[in-house]
Structure 1
Amino acid sequence: MDNYCVELDQETGLHCTLLLFTNVTNISKVREKIIIGKLHCCVVKASLISDAFQAVVAANKAAVNAKQNRLITRTVYTEILYCLSMSKNISRSLTDYGISNSDKNILVILIHKLDEEQPILEVLGSIKGERIPISRIQEFTDVNLIKKTYKIDEDELCVSSLTDAIVSRISSKEFMSIK
């Protein structure tokens, strides 16, 4: 299975790889490894992702913030969760987008140099679940939860796609006042 890997802003010199897993049986162990720093990645509830582009935009924003020493959170991976969220409250962002022990479908986001494979291999060796193509992400998307989380109403969806509405919010978070 091919990895979904895209180049981030050239200023960063980094790439983003997305890995989608379903039926994960060891979420608590994965969370623990992330918290203690043994697993270097961002793990997001798949239900809050409408498209791979949404995750890449947040990862790119986090990588640029890291490169410019403007991280709002402690690591580039918690910064991705913060960038995905509309909240300016870090704890809330991590809680809303990060995984909980009841999650079974997850999206793993890695930021790395082009030829760096170790972080990907560590993730693949740490997650017990079925890895599936990123093209299937919409099977796990909870549209109603996303619309509620990002405060997107039906009128907006008449002139914009769900993903475009989300990406617009992610891109302009610093300039928006949250309702």
Structure 2
Amino acid sequence: MAEFELDTHPGRRLHLLLFVDVTNSRGLVQAMQAGTLVPELAFFNASLVPDTFPVLAAAHKAVLSQTRGSLVTRTLHSELIYNYSGSKHITEALRRSGINESSTYVLVAHFDGTPDELEATRALVQGREISLQELLERADHPLILKHYKITPAELEISSLADAITCRIAARDAI
């Protein structure tokens, strides 16, 4: 687990937990769809996350939208997934970047979590927690390149995480 302070939003922070061998994705998806997930969390398809940096960029955008009262999705946590996806289509963004009923490799994000909420998160996800250091080596590079339309020429001058972050930052301008 890692905790990140959102510098542009004093007092706000994001906790990230990475799990493998998750066996209850179906139940997590059903709880999210029913709006009964406690605590509220964001579940990423971790195969699409090569580093925490793009997730933090998406988190800053989500908190800024919340502060301005301009969330595109229903919750701050779904806004995080939406922002990470790079897509302007909410359903497509949540389907592609979020988990599905068969996901076994999951990145969990929680804004402003208390110690009790973080323990509840660990109890909620039935899987083995691993270090965030494993993101890059476990990332599905071909899928990321396809999803974000990243070219080999771009990777000659930029990292994969930077290419994703640029797309997150520029999505609203394109």
How many matched pairs? 172
Letter matched to residue 23 of structure 1: D
Q: How far apart in 1 are the matches of 2:83 and 2:148?
A: 12
Percent of aligned positions with the same letter in both sequences?
A: 33
The RMSD of aligned alpha carbons is 1.3
5+ residue gaps, structure 2, are none
In 1, Cα distance between equivalents of 2:18 and 2:9: 27
**1:58: which partner in 2?**
58
Deviations 1:5-40 (A, max 9, x none): 010144353100100000001111122222323231
The one-letter amino acid paired with 1:127 is: V
Residue 78 of structure 1, CA deviation: 0.8
Larger CA deviation: 75-84 vs 119-128 = 119-128
3-state SS of paired residue (1:149): helix
One-letter code aligned to 2:153:
D
2:83 aligns with: 83
Contact 2:46-2:139 at 8 Å conserved across structures: yes
Matched residue, 1:106: 106
Q: Distance in 1 between matches of 2:31 and 2:117?
A: 13
Q: Please, which moves more after superposition, 55-64 or 13-22?
A: 55-64
2:128 counterpart residue number: 130
Amino acid at match of 1:108: V
Alignment match of 1:170 (pick from 157, 160, 168)? 168
- Taking the TM superposition and a 5 Å limit, the aligned residue runs for 1:16-95 are 16-35=14-33, 36-39=35-38, 40-95=40-95
Provide Cα deviations, 1:105-126, integer angstroms capped at 9, x if missing partner.
000011116xx22321221111
Whether the 8 Å contact between 1:59 and 1:109 is mirrored in structure 2 is no
SS at match of 1:19: strand
Higher helix share: 2
8 Å CA contact retained: 1:19, 1:131: yes
Q: What is aligned with 2:97?
A: 97
What are the superposed Cα offsets for residues 27-76 of structure 1, whole Å, 9 maximum, x if unpaired? 11122222323231100001100101111111121112111211111100
- 1:159 is aligned to 157
User: Partner of 2:3 in structure 1?
Assistant: 5
Deviation string 1:109-166 (CA, Å, 9 cap, x unpaired) is: 11116xx223212211111110001111123201111111111000111111111111
Distance in 2, matches of 1:15 and 1:86, equals: 22
Measured at CA, do residues 153 and 124 of structure 1 come closer, stay the same or move farther in structure 2, by a change above 3 Å?
same
Q: Distance in 1 between matches of 2:170 and 2:28?
A: 31
CA contact (8 A) 2:8 2:60 kept: no
Point out where structure 1 has 5 or more consecutive residues left out of the alignment. none
Contact 2:22 2:126 in 1 (8 A): yes
Maintained 8 Å contact 1:46/1:106: yes
